[in-house]
Structures are given as structure tokens and as C-alpha cells.
Amino acid sequence: MCGISGFYSPSAAFSEQKKYYAPILSEMRQSLRHRGPDDSGTLLTDHCGLAHTRLSIIDLENGRQPMSQYREGFGYHIVYNGEIYNLDELKEKLRARNVSWQTTSDTEILLLSFMTFGADFVQDVDGIFAFAIYDERHDILTLFRDCFGVKPLFYTALKDTLIFASEPKGCLCYPGVKAVLDKNGLNEILSLGPARSPGCGVFKDFYELLPGSYMTCSRYGRKITRYYRLISRPHTDSYEETVEKASFLIQDAIRRQMVSDVPICTFLSGGVDSSVVSAVCGAELKKRGETLTTYSFDFKENDKYFKANSFQPSQDRPYVEKMVSFLGSDHHYLECGNHRQADLLTRSVDAHDLPCMADIDSSLQHFCEEVSHTHKVVLTGECADEVFGGYPWFHREEMLSSGTFPWTPSLAPRKALLATELTESLCMEEYVQDVYCRFIREINVLPEENETETNRRRIGYLNIRFFMQTLLNRMDRTSMYSGLEARVPFADRKLVDYVFNIPWEMKAKGGVVKNILRQASRGLLPEEILFRRKSPYPKTYNPYYENLLAGRLRESLADAGSPLRPLLNMPALNQFLDNPKDYGSPWYGQLMAGPQMIAYLLQFDYFLKKYKVSLQL
């Protein structure tokens, strides 16, 4: 895993003005150093600059970037962030064309595949990636992103100069690129946030390359090609065949994602998702005579303050202990304190360049930093709920037919704290509804499906396109900020393609949520783990934490120069801060309730200050 950045202009002469552009490229690279602290490099040609920071996972000796190949005197150059899981297949296709390679680096194989087959070769690539290739012969820069957007790639433009980077901070290093929020950007943060529209970079004129797409940039302009999309198909396999095939696809995805020249570990919550990943990894390592290292997370004193609710029915630790005993793993229990996760709220914004999932992000960032001291690669159970239908909005009728994003059923909790003039100016409900309808239109329904099944298909699609993307963003930024590569086997293309079309009567047969995943994992896990009721990522229930946040927000807003204060309804906010919060009624997803609203406002305030954001209302 790495950080990439660069710029391209068909009318420039960058190499002739090296003294000016080389420091810019170096600053862009340095801004992403946390993503790859092991090595770095830059390349400056007449029309293109490329920068790279490297986290060494595969071919530690020969994988330095930017990497170049030459044919007939013309250079082809690549900067790449990701991992490829079907490298042998790609090599076979090159071998059939008598193309040879010099290293074991997947970077070289990607570059040679592009040079041999053209940009459409990416359709055959199985992995998580974002990369840029500059073709000097034709003066074309091509940007690529993986199917589900596991790896990020942002871009903006000044006249005919395209600027790109793994994170917005890289683009903001380029002279003339400013942090500006217009009404759309504010709606992304205040109405959709911490989610955002696919392809939206939130800052004005910032974009993120859509998952499953590549973009070509040349003297003739820019063109985006969609090489992958989810397709609705009738499911023809029997229930027994479905379970068997799902079992193969799950285990195959996990095994393929274990590729690494450095030791791997797993996150283990004691739920079925992370336990399946850990069980398969543990069994594979045992064959090599190695022991799997696992990590679990919790908060100090949570055993004292935890109260079960419909969203978080149980604590993880008892189930983690059972899985550790079952796996025989080298396990580490990690804890986060209230002050620590509050202090890291600002660093979470530093990692995202935006307000994010508040303390859900900051605590995970703490845990990832702890893991990064001993490991560079971790496999997680992320995305299983989006793919297999683990959330309540898949089966609760009122959520299925809500006609909006089910993880944000109402904007009322947000609007109540914002200035009336702002909410009226933003037209928040209309903005959300427009985005919702725009992406609902993308998915084709099947004629034989009834209204309930059609709604489930649409919600399944939105989960993968929207909600899963939010969690993938969280996983990438929190892990890569400490140079830890997180892999997500449940976001495997073959697995998602198959499971997306399994009918609900199979996915939840007998009323069992994620039934297919549980049945497909029989024999891998103890029964009590296999059928444990879903409990999401843990959070603190200590009332001291809420009071700590409220005090910090009051202090920040007491500053007359606070950029956030004019955007708020201060009487309503003060009343909100004075009253206890409901920990069981989220305003986003399943975890973000009252305390997270305070944390989100703290992040927004810090974001406006740090990035010197200009508002265009």
C-alpha cells in the first residue's frame, strides 16, 4: 500500500521549469508520507509529474516507484497503490504474448499489461488499487480505480492541468488549488455526511474517480470509462448449491488476500464476519507452521457502563475469548480511553481531510496505530453486512419502504442544531432526495421481483455503493495514516457479484440474518459464534466521554472567530449539550448517536479552521 500523487498538462513544459515544479511534486509526496513511510520517489517529464510513497509489502527490494519501462525510445511510467490477487493469471496472459518481466513486483506486471493490452486490461485485474500510468508516446495519463473503491483517488483541475492524489491533501499542495465549500459541499457534510456521493470530492471542483472506472487525460480532454458495475441477474442455483458456492468464494477470497512478503494479522471481534476471516487465515498459516496474530478492540470501563440495545446487543470480549481458544491465535486485547479517542478526533480529520465518522474513526485510528507497531498487513471482516444483508434496513418494512437512505432516516436531528437560514439555503431534504434518486436509477430491477424484493435489491445496491464506501474510506484512512494495509475479503468482486443476486429468501432463510454466510461457514467456527447476533464496532458508553466532548465544543464555540458558530442554532445547541443523549437512536448508521453528534461538530469546526475553508453560499 502506498500514496500516489501527480499532475498532468498537455501544454506544459514541467521539466524545463524543474526548479519550480519539482518542489511542488515533493510537497505532494511528503503530504502522503504516512501512507508509505518505507520509500519514496518522484518523476518529472515535460507534461507529467508523478510522486510515490511506499509501504513495502511485495518484492521489498525491487518495487520502488515511480517505475518505468521503455519501448522504441518512449517511456511508460506508473505510480501504484494497492495489491493484486490474481498476479499469476496476469503473468500467463503476458507470457502468451512473449512478454517477460524482471521482478516479482505486481507494479511491473500492471505496467507491462497496460503496455501490451491497453487500458482495458484493468477489467481482468483482481485486487484493490488506484494507479496512474503516463504514456509518453501518446502523451496520455490514465488513472485507474478498483471495482468497489477500496483504494482512494481524488483529482481536480486548474485550466488544462489535472492534479491527482490518494487524498485531497495532496491536491491542496498544488499552487492555486483552494479549499472551498459551496452549497453542494456543505450538503455533503451536513446532509449526507459522514457519507458522501460517489465521485464527489466535497471541496468545490474536487472529484473522486468512481469505483470501477478509469479516466484518460490527453490534449483532447478527459474521458471516464466504466469498466465494472453491479448487474442484476436471476439467481438459478438451488439453496444447497448457493451455500456451497458461497463457501468456496468466501474462503477463496480470504486465501487470495493473504498474499504478502511480510507477516499478516487479523482483526477479531468475535462476530461471524471477522471470525471467518481469522479461521481461514489461521488454518492456512498453520499449514506453514505459523501462528496467526489477532487483535480485538474495546474501551476502558465499558464493562461498567455498557447497556445493551437493539443496535448493540452484546459486548465482544466473551466471544473473542471463545474464538481465541478455538483458533489458538496469538491474541492482543487493545483498549482506548476517553481522552485518547477525543484527542484523536482532529487527527481523524487530518487523515480524511474531512469530518468523518467522529469517534468511530478516531478510536479505530488509535487501534490501527497500535497494530502498526508490529504488522503492516491486516485482514478484516469489513463489508460482510453490506454484501450479505446484515443491517436492520434489509428486513424492517418501514426502512425498506422509506424512500430515502435507510441509515439516515431523518435529517431532523441535524437540522435542529443548524441555523435556520443555512438549512433553508441548503434545501437539505431536496439535496438528499436528488442524490438518492440519481443512484437508485443506476440499478436495474428484475421484472419478476415483487415490490419488497425490488426494494431489497435497491437497498442492497445502495449499501454497496454508499454505505460500504463510507466504511471502506474509514478503513483506508484510519489504517494508512499509520502505514497499516487493511484488506477486505468480503469486498471481493466475484463474491459480491454472486451474493448480490441471491434472493432474500435464501440470504435470510428461516429468519436468520446473514443465513447464507453462516451456513457457508459451517465447520469453520463454533456454533455459538456462527449464530451470534450481530453487534457492530464497539463504542464507549462512559457518560464522562459525552461531558468531555460537550466541554470542548463549548470552549471552541466561545471563540468569537469560530467559523462554525455562525452556521449553528446556538440556543438549540446549548439545550442539546445540557441534556443527556440517547445512545440507542442513531442519526447515522447504527453507531452515531448523541455523543457522536457533538464529536462530528467538533471535527467540522476543526476542519473549517485547519483547511482555511472558504464558504460560497
Contact of 109 with 101, CB cutoff 8 Å? yes
Q: Give the pTM.
A: 0.95
Q: How many Cβ atoms from other residues are within 10 Å of residue 390's Cβ?
A: 21
Query: What does the alpha-carbon distance between residue 34 and residue 481 come to, in Å, rounded to a whole number?
Result: 5
Grouping H, G, I as helix, E, B as strand and the rest as coil, residue 233 is coil
Mean pLDDT on 257-275: 94
Residue 497 neighbours by CB distance under 10 Å = 15
SS3 249: helix
Per-residue confidence band for 306, with pLDDT thresholds at 50, 70 and 90: low
Q: Which residue has the higher pLDDT, 337 or 120?
A: 120
Phi, psi of 518 (to 5 degrees): -70, -45
Residue 590: pLDDT band (50, 70, 90) is confident
Amino acid 78: pLDDT: 98
Output the average pLDDT for the chain.
Answer: 93
Angle between helix 570-578 and 543-557 (nearest 10): 160
Let me know if 197 is exposed, middle or buried by CB neighbors in 10 A (0-12, 13-18, 19+).
buried
Q: Is the pLDDT of residue 496 over 60?
A: yes
Query: Cβ(130)–Cβ(209) under 8 Å?
Result: yes
- pLDDT tens digits, one per residue of 460-489: 999 999 999 999 999 999 999 999 999 999
pLDDT range class, residue 534, cuts 50, 70, 90: confident
Q: Read off the amino acid at residue 395.
A: H
What angle do the packed helices 468-480 and 345-352 form, to 10 degrees?
100
- Peptide bond before residue 66 is cis, with ω within 30 degrees of 0: yes
Other C-beta atoms lying within 10 Å of the C-beta of residue 419: 16
Does residue 310 have a pLDDT over 60?
Answer: no
**What digits encode the pLDDT tens for the residues 80-138?**
999 999 999 999 999 999 999 998 889 999 999 999 999 999 999 999 999 999 999 99
Classify 462 in phi/psi space as left (phi over 0), alpha (psi -120 to 50) or beta: alpha
Rounded mean pLDDT, 221-225: 97
Rounded CA-CA distance 180/206 in Å is: 9
Residue 287 CB neighbour total at 10 angstroms: 7
- Of 41, 548, 63, 524, the closest CA to residue 261 belongs to 63
Least confident of 47-56, 108-117, 489-498, 606-615: 47-56
Place of cell 486490461: 121
The whole-angstrom separation of Cα 110 and Cα 252 is 22
CB 52 within 8 Å of CB 35: no
Whole-number percent of the chain with pLDDT over 90: 84
Answer yes or no: is pLDDT of 55 > 90: no
Query: What is the Rg, in whole angstroms, of the alpha carbon atoms belonging to the chain?
Result: 24
Per-residue DSSP letter, 145: E
- 438's CB contacts (< 8 A; 6+ apart) are none
Concerning whether 265 is annotated as a catalytic residue, the answer is no
Identify the DSSP state of 443. S
Residue 221 confidence class, pLDDT cut points 50, 70, 90 = very high
Measured CA to CA, the distance from residue 171 to residue 167 in angstroms comes to 7
Cα separation, 495 vs 497, in Å, equals: 6
Task: Name the phi and psi angles at 528, rounded to 5.
Answer: -65, -25
Residue 580 has pLDDT above 90, yes or no: no
By the 10 Å C-beta count (0-12 exposed, 13-18 middle, 19+ buried), 423 is classed as buried
Give 450's pLDDT tier (boundaries 50, 70, 90): very high
Give CA angle at 41 (38, 42), nearest 5°.
155
What span, in angstroms and rounded, lies between the C-alpha atoms of 411 and 413? 6
Arithmetic mean of pLDDT, 484-506: 96
Instruction: Assess contact for 70 and 78: CB atoms under 8 A.
Output: no
- Beta-ladder partners of 486: 378
**Is the model's pLDDT at 342 over the cut of 60?**
yes
pLDDT over 90 at 537, yes or no: no
Q: Do 355 and 593 form a contact (C-beta atoms < 8 A)?
A: no
DSSP state of 35: G
pLDDT tier, 532 (very low <50, low <70, confident <90, very high otherwise)? confident
Q: Which of 612, 584, 615 is nearest to 307 (CA)?
A: 584
What is residue 56's DSSP assignment?
-
For 391-439, what is each residue's pLDDT tens digit?
999 988 888 888 999 999 899 999 999 999 999 999 999 999 999 999 9
How much is the pLDDT for 540? Answer: 75
pLDDT above 70 coverage of the chain, percent: 95
How many other CB atoms sit within 10 Å of the CB of residue 558?
9
pLDDT of residue 548: 94
CA distance 348 to 141: 31
C-alpha cell read off for 11:
501544454
- The reported pLDDT for the residue numbered 591 is 84
- Average pLDDT for residues 277-287, to the nearest whole number? 97
The predicted structure's pLDDT at residue 76: 98
Q: Are 93 and 117 in contact (CB under 8 A)?
A: yes
Strand order in the sheet with 67-71: 67-71, 74-84, 127-135, 140-145, 213-218, 221-226
Query: For residues 356 and 556, what is the distance between their CA atoms, to the nearest angstrom?
Result: 19
Helices assigned H by DSSP within 357-450: 358-372, 384-388, 397-400, 412-415, 420-426, 428-440
* Tens digit of each residue's pLDDT (9 = 90 or more) over 168-187: 999 999 999 999 999 999 99
Q: What is the pLDDT of residues 234-264, one digit of tens each?
A: 999 999 999 999 999 999 999 999 988 889 9
Q: pLDDT value at position 583?
A: 55
Confidence of residue 13 (pLDDT cuts 50, 70, 90): very high
Contacts of 290 (CB under 8 A, 6+ apart): 263
pLDDT recorded at residue 582: 62
Of 470, 606, 599, 491, nearest in space to 539 by CA: 599
Is the pLDDT at 295 greater than 90? The verdict is: yes
Q: In DSSP terms, which residues pair with 68 in a beta bridge?
A: 77
